[in-house]
Each structure stands twice: as C-alpha cells, then as structure tokens.
Chains A and B, each alone.
Chain A
C-alpha cells in the first residue's frame, strides 16, 4: 500500500515537472522575449524604460543565457513564489491570479459535485430498470449532453436568459458584491450564482458518468452472487445497494482523475461565455497580448491543480477498493 502511494506520488511529481516544461515552452514560443514585450507595452502606455532598466531586467531574468539556464532560473523564481509581472496589469502575476484561481477551483468542484449527485442515482436507476421509459429518456439526454460542447450550452443559456428573461445568466456575483471584500453575504451570493455554471460545465461529464455507472452496474447485476443474495431473501434495496453498487463505484471513482482535467479545461471556455471571474478569460487575454509570464503561470497552476486532484482521487480509490490497497491491480 505504501509502495503504491509512493509510486503515485512520484508520478505526480513527474507530471508536474512535465507541466513546468510545457508552460516554459509556451512562454518561450512567441517571437521576442518577455523584456521586448514589456518595453513595448511600457512605451505604448507612455512611460519609457531606460537602457539600464532593460539590462537589469534581462539580467534578473537571465534572458542572455542559454535556454536551459533560463528554465532553471524561472523554476528558481517560482520556487520563491515569484511568477513575474503581468505586463498588461502592471502588477505581480500572483496578485492578478489570486482570487480567480480560487474561484476556478470552486466552480470545478461544484461541477463535479453536480455531476456525481446526478449521475449516481440516475445510473443506478437506469441499470436496475433497464429498458424502462425513463431509462430511454435518460439515455437520450445523455447522448445529447455528450454531443453539446459546454460553450455551446453556455451560449444557449445566455441567449435564453437575455432574450426571454431580460437578465444576464452569467457572472458569479451580483453587481454589489463583485468588488466587495469577502464576507458571509458575498459567499452566499456566490452560492446562489453557482448552479448555472455548475450545470453547464457538468452536463457533458454527467452524461458520460451515467453511461459508465449504468454499464458497470449491469455487469455486476448479472453475477451469481446477486442471485444468491436474492435467493436468500434479502430486500431488493439491500441486494442492489449493498454489493453491486459498491463494486460498480470503483471504476467510477477512478474516472474522477480524468474528470478533473476535463472539467478544468471546460471551465476556461465556459467562463468566457458566461463571463465568470475565473482564470479562463484572464488566460485568453494574456495569450492574445502575449503576456507570456501570466499565461505560463496560469497553465502551470491549472496543471498542478489537476495533478493534485488526480492524486487525491487515486488515494480515494485506494481507500474504497481493497484490491488496490492490498497491492494487486
């Protein structure tokens, strides 16, 4: 069991390292370097930069050195919690991302909770009452949910909200709370605004989860032990809930690991359409403005976040499934 945790842990570290390399590539890819775009934006805004400042900046960032040295330096800065400056904002990247990253996590978690809360009971129902009318309806909804990309659903929600209710369905806060400091009222306001983004974001995943749960449980229900339980006179709820559902849950939990990157990815585009204050719109702006340090930091943060999430789901799976806990796979 310990060996398994250690192995997973090292894999997570390896993945984070791979993500830092990818984020660094993203920073390096656009022509020119950070300083050229910094100088360009500074002179565009009217405040000139002296030659001395340019040189100092280059030296501080090590841009005159070979690429692997630059990578190591960048890693060193990140280790100190310094992600560089967000050019457009004229503030450190850390300050710009701050709250938005937390809100991204909140929305992703809300979407996953929604997915689970819906997919579990529907999946169990569909498997137990196979070929019933409701099963067909759920299957149909599932297929449609699978075929509609999140951003399209978001567009439709926005359109309906705007055209028929005259209100914006987007945003995460009411106007009076948008810039307010955190308080209980603001949290409550956030909770009230969460359902729409969570549903939009979670629908595709829900469709997939229902299908997985349904087919897993169907496989289990065919097994002889279910018949034995029934023959012994257990109540129907007990027959189904006690063992088959438990076993069918395993692959379900292992998919959270894959669900998380998927939801985080989706939240980027959905946030843009619903104008949510997450890192999504920030990333798009940063990429278009070639604000490389900001975009690199966001890609890095999102990557690390999903890796940690995946690691937690691995631990969870181990806790639920004794076969993994005992080292057999």
Chain B
C-alpha cells in the first residue's frame, strides 16, 4: 500500500496516477519516508559520516599529542554568555596535587576567561586529504588550544578526548563500511552461485555457512588478530582486521542473496527471459539483480552495526587496532581499569557514539527493509 502523501490527497485519481507511473525507487522512497525512526536514523548517520569526512576540522588539537602535566583532566564546561551577550568562553584549568591523596586535581581559574572562537586557527592539517589549512570549527583566542580547551577532558597520557573521539569516529565508522563491502562481495558471489545454480554448489556453500556460523566468533577472531605481526603498520592492521571481521560477516548476506535467487528463479519474468534466449549473465544482472538489489541494501545496512561492534570489542581487548591508531575500541581500552574509571568517568564517553551509531544503523536498516518491498 504505497500511498504518496506529498501534496496529493490519497485516493484521488491524480494520486493513483502518480503511483502508477512512479518508478520502483520512488515508491520505496515514499515508503521509507513514512518510517519516522528510520528517517531519524538516516539523519543521524548523515551527521556521523559528515564528522568522518571533517574529523580534522572538528578536532581542535593533535589527537596524539600527549602531556603528562595534563593527565586525566575533567571535562570543562563552556560558558555561553558573558555579561548577557553571546560570547562563549572557558576558564583555564590549573593542575595541583592533592596534599592528602597525591592525586592530580584541576581547578578552574575563575578570574581568567579564554574566549572561544569559531572557525579559528589551530594545528595544520589537510582538509579531505588535499587542501592544506589550519582552520578548525573550534579554537581559542589568544592562547594555545592544547593548553586551555578540554571539552571532554583528557586521558591518562593527557591527550584531548574530544579530538581523539573525532578521529576514532573516523576509523570506526569506515572500518564498518570496508568490512561490509568485503562481506557483500563474498556474500553476493557465493550466495548467488548457491541460489542460482543450486545442486552440489548449493550444498557445499550452505554447509560452509553452517559451519562458520556455529563457531564462536570472538575466540576465533582473537586468535587470528593476535597472530598479526607486531611490526605491521596501522594501515596493514586496519585492512587485516576488516578481512578477519568479514570472514564471518558474509554468511548472513549470502543467505539473503540465496533466498532471493531461489524465490525469483521460479518467477514468470525470469522464465520468460530464459525462453527468449537471454544469456545467463543477462538473466542474472539485467533481470534478477535489479529486483532484489533493494533487499540487499537493507541487509547490508543491518550488517554494518555488528561489524562496528566487532571492531570495537577487538580493539577494546587490545587485539584489534593498536595505538597510534585511534578507534572507539582503542579509546575504551582506557576504561578497562575500573579504578581509573571510578575517578574519571568521562573515559566511558566514547561508548555513547557507539550506541548511537549502532541504533541509527538498526533503525535505518529496519526502514529500508520495510521499504525494499513497496508493493507488499
């Protein structure tokens, strides 16, 4: 029941005509738009991936710059108004040692105001990897951002958590995409063979899938990632992890593709195409694939959050990405020590984007799955 609601009253002839001439993708878009949670999820993801593109711009200090003097600083509140006018500023934090516990404590210096500047100058970087610039969304006037701005506090080595979180988001969200791309390739090829040709191929591939799915994944991944040579570069480890994660991830996608092939193989239009003498690749790619591509997109979207959680878990254990790489899991490693966490609860902040991103992917995937079959 795809009823367009954009300006045309449903039920009128104009609306019916509109449905009649609408392409499948238009129908799907109309259906998707009606799923409110899915739209919110999609919006959140757009924002997330904009953050991925502009991580350098959003960070205000170099994420790897450590300074023992600034270890475990607490998040600093922004004062938005100064004397009734909109003029955001922060109070610089001064580190002292508690004479009793010998713990480093930070007190705001209430007499000094460091004004915050939007689109100000900071550390140099290359926007989108090409344009060299030093403009950042947030900067401070008349001081070094490294010494005065700590929006989400710092970690044990005194690195700014906000800036690290921006880079971590970049890594974690792209690792999900790359892994899903590898899984998709494997899933489509193997699931397609299994579903279209059937017979012995189908049996073998289905058995392989069943075997892979009954193996507990984390111990397997742990074993494989622990064996990655310690001298590999960040990039090498990154791709090795995506491949290891996809090792199991493809099975679900293959199952979906196979199911679609099996049900479509019996459809009249496929038989018609075959009887007309179309070649096999033409039947598959021209006639069958377009009619289930939307289902594949939905299944792919639903597969991404699992990949993100996998990477986060592995890195959290110290077996995934390794410093100096930054990802959500690497950031959460600092929260492993419960004593440190009890004193500095902001170390747990990186878990918030994980939960939001996973939810957003799930909501959008649900909406896409409903929209994938606009005639249903």
Contacts and interface: CB of A to CB of B under 8 A. Distances in A.
Interface of A: 11, 14-15, 18-19, 22-23, 26, 29-31, 143-144, 146-149, 151-152, 155-156, 158-159, 162-163, 168, 257-258, 261-262, 264-266, 268-269, 272-273, 283-284, 287-288, 290, 295-296, 298-299, 302-303, 306-307, 310
B216 A302 contact: yes
A25 B210 CA distance: 20
A101 B360 CA distance: 37
B187 interface: no
B335 A155 contact: yes
A261 B217 contact: yes
A288 B226 contact: yes
A152 B355 contact: yes
Given A159-B338, A163-B345, A306-B215, A147 B227 contact: no
A9 to B, nearest CB: 13
Given A14-B211, A152-B355, A287-B223, A265 B316 contact: no
Given A26-B227, A269-B316, 10 more contacts: A23-B223, A144-B359, A147-B305, A147-B362, A155-B336, A155-B341, A261-B214, A284-B319, A298-B219, A302-B219
Interface in B202-224: 207, 210-211, 213-220, 222-224
B223 A299 contact: yes
Contacts of B319: 284, 287
Contacts of B354: 149, 152
Contacts of B355: 144, 147-148, 152
A103 to B, nearest CB: 16
A257 B214 contact: yes
A156 B345 CA distance: 10
21 contacts: A15-B211, A15-B214, A147-B355, A147-B359, A148-B355, A151-B313, A152-B332, A155-B351, A159-B341, A163-B345, A168-B338, A257-B214, A261-B215, A261-B216, A268-B222, A288-B318, A296-B223, A298-B219, A299-B220, A302-B216, A303-B215
A299 B215 CA distance: 9
Interface in B301-328: 305, 309, 312-313, 316-319
Contacts of B226: 30, 287-288, 290, 295
Given A149-B309, A269-B317, A287-B319, A19 B222 contact: no
B15 interface: no
B281 interface: no
A11 B207 contact: yes
Contacts of B229: 31
B342 interface: yes
Contacts of A159: 338, 341-342, 345, 348
B338 to A, nearest CB: 5
Contacts, number: 128
B278 interface: no
Interface of B is mostly: helix
Interface residues of B, number: 41
A26 B228 CA distance: 11
A42 to B, nearest CB: 22
A168 B338 CA distance: 9
B216 A306 contact: yes
Nearest to B228: A29
A266 B359 contact: no
Nearest to A156: B348
Nearest to A108: B216
A266 B218 contact: yes
B114 interface: no
